[in-house]
Structures are given as structure tokens and as C-alpha cells.
Structure 1
Amino acid sequence: MALNFHQLHIFYTVADKGSFSAAAVALHMTQPAVTMQVQSLEDYFGTKLFQRSTKRIELTEAGRTLLPYAKQSIDLIRETDAAMSKFTSQLKGRLQLGASLTIGEYILPRLLGSFGQEYPHISISMKVMNTTQIMDEIFSHHLNFGLIEAPVSHPDLHIEPVMNDELVLIAHRGHPLASRESVLLEEAMSYPLVLREQGSGTRQVMEDQLRRKNLDPDKLNIVMELGSTGAVKSAVEAGLGMSIVSLSSIKHEVALELINVVPLSDVTFSREFFSIYLKSALLPISAVTFLTFLRERDLKQWL
């Protein structure tokens, strides 16, 4: 019997999760299958890797010795996939990802066209949903990875910034501030506002910046909260109030002179978009290729 990477990956996941059952869930395997692979690895080395009891498992001295090598092997496979992904123009496969609203509605459709030209044999399935839904889909193994607008913290997720975005203040063309060369943030925030709902990535970035400028988000004159950027833009076009949205989401409306961007003189709103996927997962080469595409290309033309 030869040592194989699959067994090392399973061993590392069991050690990381602290139980065979948790590792089985993370690996999308049955618990007996996980146990069998670990036993095969123990047979190969001729020693026990875990001390098993009814309540918990612990690494043996041999297991503790093997653990860093198993991690190195996982890291090396991931690095190998990333390095080779740029040469896989004939790659075939299915890319399944989730994207939060701004990314999925306004950014990915632009860059997926270019990606599809370079990798025409990769079919793409994208779900546009909020961050919580994306995480649920990843944990249930329905999605390989997701792209989200605000950072999250979870011990089982790998989180990596992949692109930058700018938020801008927008107003109806007839708004008192619409033709100003610049305004102060405090003055702009005194006018009626139409905003995304609480918890959205856009709203979070805006409120964080307000607090840094010693402005209380709870004192804003919010006349309407809406669940999508498209609805916010429509409300601004109708003259219901100003808003702060992603610059990438308003190119069409600005070109048609439906709304104006109002420059702020004392603040900029910038943020990062993040990729998230399970730490225990080895992404399919189609997903690795797409993430490499995001990391290594100049994405400004699509933002």
C-alpha cells in the first residue's frame, strides 16, 4: 500500500476538527469512510495516530509528528493547483459559486465574459444571495466558494481579499447638492437618505466610516431602507433622497445622466471584496483557476 494525499487530508481534518464525525461533515463523507481511511494510514505507518475514547480523540506522539507534514502536503497541493491554473485553457468543469448582491449583479457579469473567453470549457453556475446564505450553501457543500462584500469571521472558513471597490454619494439631478463640485460628509448626511438595509455590506462600510468621522449613524435622516441596490438607485432617480452605493453599480445611470455622483471633499469610502471557502476543502481546479484569475488580473476595467 502506498501513502496517498487523500488519507493525509482526512487525517489532518480529523485532527483539526477533533472528531471523526465533525471531519466527516467537513469532508462531505460518511463517518465510517473517514474512520477506514485513518485506519489505512495507521496500517501504513504501523502505529496509532489517535488515542480514541468515548468522549474525545487525541493525537498520539506519532500523530503529532505527522500533523505538520500533512498540513504541508495540503498547502503544497493548493499552491500547485494555483501555479498550474494559468496553463489550463482547455480545462473542463463546472464552477459553482455564490456572490452577494453588488458583486453578483454588477461586477461578475462583466468579468465572467472575459473569463469565459479564456476558459470556454468551464461552465459557470452563480447564485446571487446574501452573505449568510452563501455561508450556509458552502457549509452544506452546495457551493465551492463565495464572493462577499464585507469580511466575516468563522473558524472553518478561509477568507481572502480579492478585489477593491469604491462607494460614492449619488443624488437626483435636481437635488440641491447634485451640481456642487464637492461637499462635506456632515452636510451631505443632513439630507434625506435612501439606504440599503441594515446588515448589507454597503451599509456596514458607510456606517463604519461615519463613526470614524464622529458622525452618529442613528441620527441620519433615513426616509427609506431597501433590499437591493437596484431599488436604491430607482428611489434616488425618483428624487426620494441621496444614497451611497458602489461606483461599479451606477455606470449605466451616470452615462445616461439619470443620477449625479456628488464628490465628498473630506472622506472616501473604499472596501474590499472577499472570497470565502472551507479550510478543509480542496477546491476543484475550476474554482482555483477562477480565484487565480481574480488575484492576478487588473480588475479595474470591470469595476
Structure 2
Amino acid sequence: MDWLNYHHLHYFWVVAREGSIVRACEVLHLSQPTISTQLQQLEQSLGGKLFERAGRGLKLTELGQTVFTYADEIFALGKQLLDTAKGRPTGQPLRLVVGVSDVLAKLVVYRLLQPALRMPERVCLICREGNTAELLTSLAAYELDLMLSDAPLASGSRVKAFSHLLGECGITIFGKPALKKKYATDFPRSLHGAPMLLPFSSTNTRRLLDQWFDDAEISPMIEGEFEDSALMKVFGQEGLGLFPAPSVIENELCEQYGVQVVGRIDQVRERFYAISVERKLKNPAAVEISRAARSQIFAPKAEPPK
């Protein structure tokens, strides 16, 4: 395996920044032969010339310009690391990379992540969507700070990670006004034979609903099954059937898709988890997401006064 000598890279970076070896010697307090030797060794390891003569100074070659760009980022990140470790402000936004399970409703994801963007400290949020296996691989490789999922980490998983329950809610059935008028009465028995749009059978929501349908001896007429929950809602928006979604986003969903609440199935509970490689969340933005989810988004509603 090839290894990059960061001492050599640092000397190159200073020379490129100062424009000559002489001025770099003054900054680094090293002799000219020492720096020249280090530059030659770096060029050998990279396989090309980094500088060319330009009068009495030096000019970066095409390779040198590329290396200088990377070096600039490397040493800027190094400074941020030191500043962060010593508790000094970095001047850069807090970075949070979140993996989002593709089965989660987008409005729920937004509700969960929104508190991080309201923190006093500026947060740069990076979202990556994928299936559970893909995201767990990225999490194990420390490419993600956090993963949002509708299920905890499976027992026996080869990935060492920890599941943090953010909260739970029931399932609401939505439909266009004409469908609500027809099926809201005598809910949930009215769902027997009703046109339904449902997520794929491989999703946790579908498994929970199928079990509830069986227990309640209800057999809806399945008009469509969808891998993408957002697409399912678009079909529901067009009045092609009733569809389920987490109760926690009732208001937003009704407003966005022009549908109404047909009824609620509180016996079916959807849970939402943050999965991390840390036993205890440490990233301040991740901590805020967890705090807001438990204390606000999924907090039990107060009983109305009698």
C-alpha cells in the first residue's frame, strides 16, 4: 500500500503558497537543501514534477496545482480538527451526514431532521437515501453520522451499531373527500372491500397492517402496491384509493396532497429509530434530533380539560 508523507506534503504546500523555496525556508526554519530534498522525494512518490521555473520563482505544474488544491483542503481540515478538539469555534458549519431508509415517509424524515436546522449553530445537512443494507455498510465505514430507519438493528447483525428509539405513532388512513364520505362511517369495518393503496409487503408498515387486517378480519381491495411511499401518496391524491401514513404527519399530508383523514388505527404502531456506531449520540445535531423527537414530535398529547 502506498503511503503519503504528510511532512513532505506540508513543505510542498508552504513552498507553493510562498512562491519560492527561499521564502518557505524562512517560514519553516529549515535549510534550502532540506526542503529541496523533501520536494524531490514527494515528486518521486507522486510520479511527476510539481514545480517548474518561472524567472526567479517557481510555478506549479498541472500536477502541482492538483496536489496544492488537495493539500489546501487537507491542512484546512487539520486546523478545524485542532480547533474543535480545543473547543475553539471553527467558523465552519457543523456537518451531519444522515442515511435515510428509502421506506420512510419523506414528511416524517423532514420533521425528524428539521430541529437540527434550527440550532443556533449553522448545520450543513447531507442526506443519503438507500436500503438498509447499503446504509449499514456506509455507517460501518464511518461515512454516515446517523441512519434513520423504521426498525431497530437486527439481532445478529455483523455491523456493530446501536439503535436509539426516537418515538412511535399510530397509522392514519387518508383519502380524497369523496372516499372519506363513503368510508369514514363505521371505520374501520368500512375498510372491508375498500380500495386501498399499500406499500410493498417487504416494508415494516405493510407487515404491521397485514397482521392487523388479519386479526380484525378485514380484507380491503388492494388497488396498488408501491415501493416509493411518495408515489403512493400521489396516486391517493388522484382519488385512486385510500392509503396509510404515520399519524404524526396528518396535518402536513392533508395540506400537501389535498386529502382528508378517513380514520386512525392506533393499534398499529410505527416506530422510528436513529442508528449510530456510538452507544450514546455525540454529534450535537444528532443529539438535538433525538431530543426534539422525544420531547416534541412524538410526545404524548395532553388530555383536553374536562
Identity %, equivalent residues: 14
Q: Residue 201 of structure 2 corresponds to which residue in structure 1?
A: 198
Alignment partner of 1:285 out of 265, 283, 286? 283
Instruction: For residue 267 of structure 1, report the CA deviation from its aligned partner.
Output: 5.6
Instruction: For residue 186 of structure 1, report the CA deviation from its aligned partner.
Output: 4.1
For 1:237 and 1:191, locate their aligned partners in 2 and report how far apart those are by CA, in whole Å: 16
Which structure would you say has the larger RCO, counting Cα contacts within 8 Å and 6 or more residues apart? 1
Instruction: For residue 212 of structure 1, report the CA deviation from its aligned partner.
Output: 3.7
Unaligned runs of 5+ in 1: 1-87
Instruction: For residue 201 of structure 1, report the CA deviation from its aligned partner.
Output: 3.0
Q: Residue 224 of structure 1 corresponds to which residue in structure 2?
A: 224
Aligned CA distance change for structure 1 residues 257 and 276 (closer, same or farther; 3 Å): closer
Alignment of 1:33-44 (within 5 A): none
Instruction: For residue 229 of structure 1, report the CA deviation from its aligned partner.
Output: 2.0
Instruction: For residue 284 of structure 1, report the CA deviation from its aligned partner.
Output: 4.7
Amino acid across the alignment from 1:161: L
Alignment partner of 1:165 out of 169, 173, 176? 169
For 2:286 and 2:175, locate their aligned partners in 1 and report how far apart those are by CA, in whole Å: 40
For 1:257 and 1:93, locate their aligned partners in 2 and report how far apart those are by CA, in whole Å: 33
- 8 Å CA contact 2:167, 2:294 repeated in 1: no
Alignment of 1:240-251 (within 5 A): 240-249=240-249, 251=251
- Report whether the alignment pairs 1:141 with 2:145: no
Q: Residue 268 of structure 2 corresponds to which residue in structure 1?
A: 269
Instruction: For residue 194 of structure 1, report the CA deviation from its aligned partner.
Output: 1.1
Instruction: For residue 146 of structure 1, report the CA deviation from its aligned partner.
Output: 0.8
- 8 Å CA contact 1:237, 1:259 repeated in 2: yes
TM-score, normalised with respect to structure 2? 0.56
Q: Residue 233 of structure 1 corresponds to which residue in structure 2?
A: 233
For 2:192 and 2:245, locate their aligned partners in 1 and report how far apart those are by CA, in whole Å: 14
- 8 Å CA contact 1:98, 1:143 repeated in 2: yes
Q: Deviations over 1:152-197 (max 9, x none)?
A: 413433122112233111222222x535554343430422211111
- 8 Å CA contact 1:179, 1:262 repeated in 2: no
Amino acid across the alignment from 1:160: H
For 1:111 and 1:267, locate their aligned partners in 2 and report how far apart those are by CA, in whole Å: 21
Q: Which moved more, 1:147-156 or 1:225-234?
A: 147-156
- 8 Å CA contact 1:94, 1:123 repeated in 2: yes
- 8 Å CA contact 1:94, 1:286 repeated in 2: no
Q: Deviations over 1:85-143 (max 9, x none)?
A: xxx9x996311111234656213434544432324233221223333332232123221
TM-score, normalised with respect to structure 1? 0.56
Amino acid across the alignment from 2:125: I
**SS across alignment from 2:142:** coil
Aligned CA distance change for structure 1 residues 238 and 160 (closer, same or farther; 3 Å): same
Q: Deviations over 1:242-300 (max 9, x none)?
A: 22122345534523782221125x76432221111236x77553355335434653125
Aligned CA distance change for structure 1 residues 147 and 207 (closer, same or farther; 3 Å): same
- 8 Å CA contact 1:159, 1:277 repeated in 2: yes
Instruction: For residue 204 of structure 1, report the CA deviation from its aligned partner.
Output: 2.6
Alignment of 1:86-105 (within 5 A): 93-101=94-102, 103=104, 105=106
For 1:211 and 1:132, locate their aligned partners in 2 and report how far apart those are by CA, in whole Å: 29
- 8 Å CA contact 2:94, 2:121 repeated in 1: no
For 1:285 and 1:252, locate their aligned partners in 2 and report how far apart those are by CA, in whole Å: 28
